[in-house]
């Protein structure tokens, strides 16, 4: 009887230590994912901070269609106000955030393409600097989204693997969304 009690106590102790270690592992991975998300927000914020300068510069140089400038300004405001709660990474919030960022990206692309009609602006050093900074931001955005996806992958694998999934379910650790390609991006653009 005594030996059975000792064996049960030892097994209980092993399970308890494993459970604590697994829980702490989830916390560590969740914090890594939150940090990676912070970097994603950081580079999106950098891009949003550059937009007013670009809009002001284009406005000063062109007799520009106000609709495009307004669209860029509104898309920037929407993107700047889009937030994701890092505690639960709700799929809908995540999709809204990504949609707002894509809307800003699309409006910036329309603005930059339209600038082609203004040779003086295209040659302006300040415009070229802003355009280079925006291109750098886009590259950093891609890099940080990739890093976020990698940390989310590690976290999600832990949440789904047996037997750690038992601890995940017990304490509410859930699978998190990834950044994904836009719809239609699997098709190559048509060239003329």
Average pLDDT over the chain reads 84
This prediction's pTM: 0.77
- Of the pLDDT bands very low, low, confident and very high (cuts 50, 70, 90), residue 140 is very high
The Cα–Cα gap between 185 and 84 comes to: 24
* Tokens coding 186: 């699997």
pLDDT of residue 192: 38
For 31-49, how does the pLDDT look when each residue is reduced to its tens digit (9 = 90+)? 999 899 989 999 999 988 8
Contacts of 177 (CB under 8 A, 6+ apart): 89, 91, 94, 95, 152
Q: Residue range 128-138: average pLDDT?
A: 88
pLDDT of residue 189: 47
Q: So what CATH class is 2-159?
A: mainly alpha
What radius of gyration, in Å, describes the C-alpha atoms of the chain? 24
The Cα–Cα gap between 55 and 104 comes to: 13
| Closest to 177 (Cα-Cα) out of 101, 89, 93, 83 | 89
pLDDT of residue 191: 42
pLDDT of residue 125: 83
| Residue pair 62/124 in contact by the 8 Å Cβ criterion | no
């Amino acid at each position: 009887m005594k030996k059975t009690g000792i064996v049960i106590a030892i097994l209980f102790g092993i399970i308890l230590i494993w459970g604590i270690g697994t829980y702490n592992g989830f916390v560590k991975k969740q914090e890594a994912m939150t940090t990676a998300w912070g970097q994603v927000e950081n580079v999106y914020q950098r891009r949003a901070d550059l937009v007013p300068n670009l809009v002001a510069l284009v406005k000063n140089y062109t007799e520009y269609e106000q609709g495009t400038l307004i669209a860029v300004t509104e898309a920037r405001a929407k993107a700047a106000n889009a937030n994701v709660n890092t505690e639960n990474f709700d799929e809908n919030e995540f999709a809204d955030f990504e949609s707002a960022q894509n809307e800003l990206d699309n409006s910036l692309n329309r603005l930059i393409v339209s600038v082609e009609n203004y040779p003086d602006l295209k040659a302006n050093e300040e415009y070229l600097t802003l355009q280079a900074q925006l291109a750098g931001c886009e590259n950093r955005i891609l890099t940080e989204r990739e890093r976020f996806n990698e940390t989310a992958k590690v976290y999600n694998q832990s949440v789904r693997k047996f037997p750690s999934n038992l601890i995940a379910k017990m304490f509410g650790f859930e699978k998190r969304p990834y950044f994904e390609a836009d719809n239609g991006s699997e098709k190559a653009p048509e060239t003329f």
